[in-house]
Amino acid sequence: MKSLFDLTDRVIVVTGATGALAGSAANYLAAQNARVVYLGRSQEKLDAALSGCRAQTPDAECLGIIADVLDRPALERVRDQVLQKWRRIDGLLNGAGGNMPGATVPPEKSFSDLDFDSFQQVIDLNLHGTVLPSLVLAPLMVEGGSGSIINFSSVSAPQAVTRVVGYSAAKSAVESFTRWLAVDMARRTGGKVRVNALLPGFFIGEQNRRLLTNQDGSLTERGQLVIQNTPFGRFGEADELHGAVHYLLSNASKFATGTTMPVDGGFVAYSGV
């Protein structure tokens, strides 16, 4: 009998696959015998990600395709290429996302200094960059009679995190979209296509390294605050998301939809007191 967690031959598209969290998850999925489609914007980074994948899993079935998550025709080409190669899509990990310095309010400034263009760009990337791949790829899951979509939220959605006003609004909208699409897909497919979100705590990546750590590796004031408010007393490691990704993509979660799962060392559970 197949394990509840079996992902063999599942075709899973991963956006942001040249990034820290989704890239690590993509390599993990390839090691679980899934067929993984790495999406990225730079050929050089995609090549590096694919060779990382094959170094770890020499017989990995992986495919790299250039696509910006805000470019609908590019996503439609992805859909067609994947269909041609593997004839179906079973999963989508919407890992592209992140913050932009202009969409934040640094301590020496006030809300009225906010750069609205940057605010809109962060909404575009995180919300529209989650909606568009879902819009293009979910119909294949509906046609195929099964599928799982995973979106990325953040601790700044359920709680106000200082400075990151655009990112907080965007991730709150991603959570709302996750619930909306989950309900729509559940009703349309009798529960066969599911939509959930991950809520990672603080993981060091290229985007937040300078905010949280100094050049000598010590913590910035903000880094110290984060650690103080994380009951585990440390940042997360990318591989600590693998279990949640695996669960949400596999039949092990087949009655779970519309959920947001924190993987955050206790950050959102903690009042700070």
The catalytic residue positions are: 167
C-alpha distance from residue 70 to each of 90, 129, 159 (Å)? 21, 5, 27
Query: x/- binding map, residues 81-100, to ligand NAD, per CB under 6 A?
Result: --------------xxxx--
Tokens found for residue 131: 């909606």
- CA-nearest of 82, 169, 162, 90 to 123 is 169
Residue entry with tokens 């050089």: 44
Instruction: Decide if residue 221 touches ligand NAD (CB under 6 A).
Output: no
Select the residue interacting with ligand NAD from 38, 203, 247, 267 (CB under 6 A).
203
Give the CA angle between residues 26, 259, 131 to the nearest 5°: 60
- Binders of ligand NAD in range 183-202 (CB under 6 A): 200, 202
d(CA 235, CA 131): 29
Stretch that binds ligand NAD, among 18-26, 158-166, 179-187, 265-273 (CB under 6 A): 18-26
Which of 37, 189 has the CB closer to ligand NAD?
Answer: 37
Which of 33, 81 has the CB closer to ligand NAD?
Answer: 81
Which of 22, 193 has the CB closer to ligand NAD?
Answer: 22
Residues with Cβ within 8 Å of residue 32, at least 6 apart in sequence: 7, 8, 246
List of residues contacting ligand NAD (CB under 6 A): 15-16, 18-22, 41, 68-70, 95-98, 125, 129, 152, 154, 200, 202-203, 205-208
